[in-house]
């Protein structure tokens, strides 16, 4: 009787051990395959602070990174998509020159969303302004409404898109703040690529985030602040 009991105990011990080993990698696999099941929160507002003083004249790294990430051709003709542009400004009175990247400003009150007749143009709870291409009919009202000229229309059929960035003919598109990367806990491609770290990406609603602390301490402006759109992208040293 005693002998059987010890055998039984031994069996239970080993089988429990085996089960633990089997469960641990299984759980890991399950977590990895699960993805993100929570909707994005309105508590977060993604934004950027661009330091124009550090933005080097002639450097185009943010633009090339954006093109590579999102599968844009990089062409500059009227019918080529441009999600981010490098702009050079000169004050004719003082002769001061500066360069800065210009893209969708991810407004709190986006005019593109106001004018969209199908609801394709929308603002996500976390402040990222996007086009739902399943709903877009390509009317291009949003392109006309945008004061930043941030949107492009796809004129030609495309192929070999990035599996994470679907794009197609007949729809309007613009900077997505690399939403597929942000949802994955990464930085937008432009912010990551900037050699001078002059694009600071973060949560404007979190008072402890790096971007919040910086906009509290340095002067920053919104482009066309007079329109009252409350842009998510701010510029320093403009």
Partner 1 sequence: MLKLIAVLMALYFSSFANAEESKFVPKLDIGKGGQCVDEPQWMRKNHMHLLKHQRDETVHEGIREEKHSLKNCIECHASTKDDSVIAREDSFCVGCHKYEAVKIDCFECHSGIRKSAWLQRNAK
Candidate residues 163, 207, 208, 217; the one interacting with partner 1 per rule CB under 8 A: 163
- Cβ atoms of 125 and 134 within 8 Å: the answer is no
205 binds partner 1 (CB under 8 A): no
90 binds partner 1 (CB under 8 A): no
Question: The tokens of 91 are what?
Answer: 């004050």
3-state secondary structure of 63: helix
Query: What DSSP element (H or E) covers 15?
Result: helix 2-34
Q: Tokens 């949802």 label which residue? A: 183
122 binds partner 1 (CB under 8 A): yes
126 binds partner 1 (CB under 8 A): yes
> Would you say 171 or 236 has its CB closer to partner 1?
171
Instruction: Please tell me the number of Cα atoms within 13 Å of 210 on its side-chain side.
Output: 9
Candidate residues 8, 43, 169, 213; the one interacting with partner 1 per rule CB under 8 A: 169
Candidate residues 1, 16, 20, 33; the one interacting with partner 1 per rule CB under 8 A: 33
38 binds partner 1 (CB under 8 A): yes
Tell me how many residues contact partner 1 (CB under 8 A).
Answer: 31
User: Interface with partner 1 by CB under 8 A: which range of 19-27, 166-174, 210-218, 229-237?
Assistant: 166-174
73 binds partner 1 (CB under 8 A): no
> Would you say 121 or 236 has its CB closer to partner 1?
121
- Please give the DSSP secondary-structure letter assigned to residue 8: H
Alpha-carbon distance of 186 to 181, in angstroms, equals 5
156 binds partner 1 (CB under 8 A): no
- Which among 213, 203, 210, 214 has a CA at the least distance from the CA of 237? 214
- Please give the DSSP secondary-structure letter assigned to residue 69: H
- Which among 178, 118, 169 has a CA at the least distance from the CA of 142? 118
Residues 6 or more apart whose Cβ sits within 8 Å of residue 22: none
- Cβ atoms of 81 and 73 within 8 Å: the answer is yes
User: Interface with partner 1 by CB under 8 A: which range of 76-84, 128-136, 209-217, 227-235?
Assistant: 128-136
Q: Tokens 């945008």 label which residue? A: 146
> Would you say 179 or 223 has its CB closer to partner 1?
179
Candidate residues 35, 58, 95, 207; the one interacting with partner 1 per rule CB under 8 A: 35
Residues recorded for the chain: 238
> Would you say 167 or 214 has its CB closer to partner 1?
167
Candidate residues 9, 13, 43, 68; the one interacting with partner 1 per rule CB under 8 A: 68
Q: Which residues bind partner 1 (CB under 8 A)?
A: 33-40, 68, 122, 124-126, 130, 132-134, 157-158, 160-164, 166-169, 171, 179, 183
């Amino acid at each position: 009787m005693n002998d059987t009991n010890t055998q039984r105990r031994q069996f239970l011990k080993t089988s429990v051990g085996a089960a633990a080993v089997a469960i641990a990698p299984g759980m890991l696999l399950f977590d990895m395959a699960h993805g993100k099941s929570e909707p994005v929160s309105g508590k977060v507002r993604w934004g950027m602070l661009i330091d124009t003083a550090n933005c080097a004249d002639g450097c185009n790294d943010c633009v090339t990174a954006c093109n590579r990430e999102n599968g844009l051709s990089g062409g500059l003709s009227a019918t080529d998509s441009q999600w981010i542009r490098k702009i050079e400004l000169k004050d004719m009175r003082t002769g001061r020159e500066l360069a800065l990247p210009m893209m969708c400003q991810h407004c709190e009150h986006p005019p593109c969303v106001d004018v969209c007749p199908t609801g394709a143009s929308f603002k996500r709870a976390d402040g990222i302004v996007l086009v739902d291409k399943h709903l877009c009919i390509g009317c291009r009202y949003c392109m006309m409404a945008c004061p930043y000229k941030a949107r492009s229309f796809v004129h030609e059929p495309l192929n070999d898109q990035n599996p994470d960035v679907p794009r197609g003919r007949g729809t309007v598109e613009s900077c997505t703040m690399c939403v597929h990367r942000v949802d994955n806990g990464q930085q937008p491609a432009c912010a990551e690529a900037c050699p001078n770290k002059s694009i600071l990406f973060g949560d404007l609603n979190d008072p402890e985030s790096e971007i919040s602390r910086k906009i509290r301490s340095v002067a920053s402006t919104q482009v066309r602040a007079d329109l009252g759109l409350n842009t998510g992208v701010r510029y320093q040293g403009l």
